[in-house]
Amino acid sequence: TSDSPTIASPLARPPQATARNRSPSPEDLPRQIGPFRILKALGKGAMGAVYLGEHKDLGLKVAIKVILGMVDPELVERFRREAKTVIGLWHPNFVRGFTVDLDHDPRYIAIEFVEGDDFDKGIGKYDLYEKIAKRRDVCRGVQAMHEKGLVHRDLKPANIRLDVAGRVVVMDPGM
């Protein structure tokens, strides 16, 4: 009957959790996250949004990955593993991590902003020998993870960038 109490399923997600599944609109852009002034939205990932930010004092441009919507403890743990990976692994062919805040809202990781193209789009301008060298650099970035006992769980061309100087950068380890 309509007078019976409603029992929530432990598997049901609250309606607010769907907020992280939509792309950020200009109205949703925060003005600042931590010490970074937000310049624009770059996109939406599996865990939230990615913004282009600039450090307010240093002028350093970074990509800022933010958890959106309801904060699921499992999601925060995955984000924490990713933060440890990108901040703890320094290799020329792996994205550099700069800072993280997982204790305050919004929870974020600030990483190197790699201006350039996705691997599959950018690789076409190189000759055969350069293409082989670029693929070798992908392997070097992934090998750096393996040497730390880590596995990239989402390796695909969209998670590999060729920066404007032609450097290969493995990104978004999908932890």
Query: Known catalytic residues?
Result: 154
**Rounded to whole angstroms, how far apart are CA atoms 165 and 134?**
12
Question: What is the DSSP secondary-structure string of 73-127?
Answer: HHHHHHHHHHHHHHHH---TTBPPEEEEE-SSSSPEEEEE---EEEHHHHGGGS-
The H-or-E segment that residue 40 falls in is strand 36-44
**Rounded to whole angstroms, how far apart are CA atoms 166 and 164?**
6
State the DSSP code for 5: P
* Residue 9 token pair: 């399923």
